[in-house]
Structure 1
């Protein structure tokens, strides 16, 4: 079983908490993407990144000094987004780290696919960015089947905790004998079930922690998830979509 998760835009360098173990499987491709980015002007990169002057300047500086083999941070500690805050990998026990290293795969526009302990450097690149590299129309075309091939194991089971921007990199290539389950996190608003981005990100990270703490190995065990006020809704779910409703809105969150 593999779990797929989106990366986060905000990244840091942390070589003190845990040492990285190994390098990204598609590092050679990342080097080509890095070289392509370095050829771009400040204005071109700012447009590509869709960000303000401060963020563009910071990432331009990072890009200028980017070395993919030095000062590496384990991927799961490098990302600082909401999902990763709720996963809280820095306080995982050894067995929980071992679980995510085996089961969790982080999808990345720059690196392709990452194991949690792969050594990475900060970068800024979204999968939906308008980047035509190596004859490919966009990054989806550039990566092709490779992300799917890395996240599918002999079980053929994939638990999707990624956003649509990233999950589509895998979904396009699914085969009939794959078991692909997306976890949907939402709440009732004026009678309608809606997904709120921030709360969904919290829940995705919390779900990874839940799975690691319980050593989850089957889809059935996912249905027991009851953190942050969420409960599994059998009547709203299907074989390929597990729906969790935030029924208790008083549950403590770290917004």
Structure 2
């Protein structure tokens, strides 16, 4: 089973491995394409243009922006992507508390879509960075670039496995699924939750790691804490599991 996931705006400062190199990332044969994006990003940081940096990072504080811009991604130590991201979903996943088998499942079966790095396996090694969701690199749209050059590689990685798409809507721009897939929606008092959906996605991912399903039948056997399935809707390629959040 393959799982598609979103990154987070917040990042940890953890460093456990060496500098970024093509072997650090999935699809190393496409590293030169990825390097084009990273090089553009780094060049923008080195302008130290305060307005540009404010747009890139989504931070108003000039001093914080200058500190962030001083971090060269090519000269920074790395850690696994699944540990680099530290937002709500990742808090609820709590990767570090999983056993080794569950961690290995996550590292090999979860693809995270980064604004800057594009498609990453959870176990890929990346440096700390900052790029506001949806922000272009001075007009260069990374989502269009990665969709054009990496879609075939992602297709091959997925193969004929069952797909669970837990991405937030924005990250669908990086890759369009072309085969049947499963998604999830979370309701509270009959209303769709948005911000707190991140927490439940993280919780679902944790249970996936613990139970390590290989197909939809296995997925259906998992009882997700605090969630009760209401219905399953089908629309073209999508099978949407709709859950009620229960107290």
TM-score scaled to structure 2, two decimals?
0.82
Matched, 1:33 2:31: no
Partners of 1:226 and 1:20 lie apart in 2 by 40
Partners of 2:162 and 2:138 lie apart in 1 by 32
Conservation of the 8 A alpha-carbon contact between 1:184 and 1:242: yes
Matched, 1:169 2:167: no
Matched, 1:241 2:246: no
The structure richer in helix per residue is 2
Structure 2 counterpart SS, 1:197: coil
Partners of 1:227 and 1:195 lie apart in 2 by 18
Conservation of the 8 A alpha-carbon contact between 1:151 and 1:158: no
How much has 1:228 moved relative to structure 2? 4.1
Matched, 1:154 2:159: yes
How much has 1:145 moved relative to structure 2? 3.0
Structure 1 counterpart SS, 2:196: helix
RMSD: 2.7
Q: How many residue pairs end up in the alignment?
A: 234
Residue matched to 1:12: 12
Partners of 1:20 and 1:207 lie apart in 2 by 32
Conservation of the 8 A alpha-carbon contact between 2:182 and 2:240: yes
User: In structure 2, do the counterparts of structure 1 residues 164 and 50 end up closer, same or farther at CA, with 3 Å as the change threshold?
Assistant: same
Partners of 1:20 and 1:182 lie apart in 2 by 35
Q: Which moved more, 1:236-245 or 1:80-89?
A: 236-245
Instruction: Specify every segment of 5 or more residues in structure 2 that has no aligned partner in the other structure, as ranges.
Output: none
Aligned pairs for 1:129-208 within 5 A: 129-132=135-138, 136=140, 138-152=141-155, 153-155=158-160, 157-171=162-176, 174-175=177-178, 178-188=179-189, 193-208=190-205
User: In structure 2, do the counterparts of structure 1 residues 232 and 128 end up closer, same or farther at CA, with 3 Å as the change threshold?
Assistant: same
Partners of 1:5 and 1:20 lie apart in 2 by 24
How much has 1:12 moved relative to structure 2? 1.1
How much has 1:44 moved relative to structure 2? 1.4
The structure richer in strand per residue is 2
TM-score scaled to structure 1, two decimals?
0.80
Corresponding residue to 1:216 among 195, 199, 213: 213
